[in-house]
Amino acid sequence: MAKKLIGKVALVTGATSGIGLATAKRFANEGAFVYITGRRRDKLEAAAAAIGVNARGVVGDVGDLGHLDEVIQIISEEQGKIDIVVPCAAFAQAQPLGSITEESFDATFGINVRATMFTVQKALPIMADGGSIVLMGSIAGAKGNAGRSVYSASKATLRSFARSWTMDLKARRIRVNVLSPGPTETASFANTPAEAKARLAAQIPMERLARPDEIANAVLFLASDEASFVTGIEMFADGGFAQV
């Protein structure tokens, strides 16, 4: 079977673990050269090694616009273009209304919204016409959960971005979509008691949490030419959790 991303250059931020790393691996396996970012050099080097020869790690914080400039400059000098942008870096903290702090609010919107927007905007000058942007949403943007209002609002913002950017970028045929996962077996669940995970799984029609590679498969579809007539949508990979 032919690989789906031969000759493509991708940028995946927050790709040292979980969904971001699974996505970067999937892209590389499909023939893309993948640039990944992360704040810790040791984790970034380990992730790049796990991906293989088609990966390059750039250390830095996506919340730092100067760092984003450096990332784009490196890609421009080494590849001359970007075909796919997937901002995966995210921040989540549970705080119920009445105890939300300014620091938590700023951190959540700073990474989930501000960094996502500037990652995309700074990539645009070297982004190839006909490229693909996949924003990493969450079912939290469509469901109400106690203590998660700020995080949920930040993810709902990405849905709005996709609609507007689809119109902003239509002349360049750059597709913009949102992929919204449900609960996924990542580090965020590492310390969750088995009983709590079982209760959560029981609420999902497929009666289990997703694997990161399953989410990466959905990102690959939106990023590839198989989704050539798909733009402006939010696609859920949630086992039906937010759908029924």
For the segment 21-49, what is each residue's pLDDT rounded down to a tens digit? 999 999 999 999 999 999 899 999 999 99
Is 35 known to be catalytic? no
Model confidence, pTM: 0.95
The DSSP-derived string for 144-205 is --TT-HHHHHHHHHHHHHHHHHHHHTGGGT-EEEEEEE-SBSSGGGTTS-HHHHHHHHHTST
Q: What does the mean pLDDT of the chain come to?
A: 95
Element (H, E) at 78: helix 65-78
pLDDT digits (tens, 9 = 90+) for 204-231: 999 999 999 999 999 999 999 999 999 9
Domains of the chain, CATH where assigned: 9-237 (3.40.50.720)
C-alpha to C-alpha distance for 34 and 48, rounded to whole angstroms: 9
Dihedral pair phi/psi, residue 176, rounded to 5°:
-130, 120
* Nearest CA among 117, 113, 119, 65 for reference residue 92: 113
pLDDT digits (tens, 9 = 90+) for 13-22: 999 999 999 9
Provide the CA 106 distance to its chain's centre, in angstroms: 19
The answer on pLDDT for 161 being more than 90 is: yes
Q: Supply the pLDDT for residue 143.
A: 87
pLDDT digits (tens, 9 = 90+) for 48-84: 999 998 999 999 899 999 999 999 999 999 999 999 9
C-alpha to C-alpha distance for 189 and 243, rounded to whole angstroms: 22
The answer on pLDDT for 164 being more than 90 is: yes
Average pLDDT of 98-116? 96
Active-site residue identified among 33, 35, 151, 161: 151
Q: Supply the pLDDT for residue 100.
A: 96
CB 137 within 8 A of CB 222: no
Q: Supply the pLDDT for residue 239.
A: 96
C-alpha to C-alpha distance for 166 and 209, rounded to whole angstroms: 31
Q: Supply the pLDDT for residue 147.
A: 83
Predicted confidence band of residue 191 (pLDDT cuts 50, 70, 90)? confident
Average pLDDT of 126-136? 98
Provide the CA 225 distance to its chain's centre, in angstroms: 18
**Helix 41-51 and helix 18-29, axial crossing angle in degrees, nearest 10:** 30
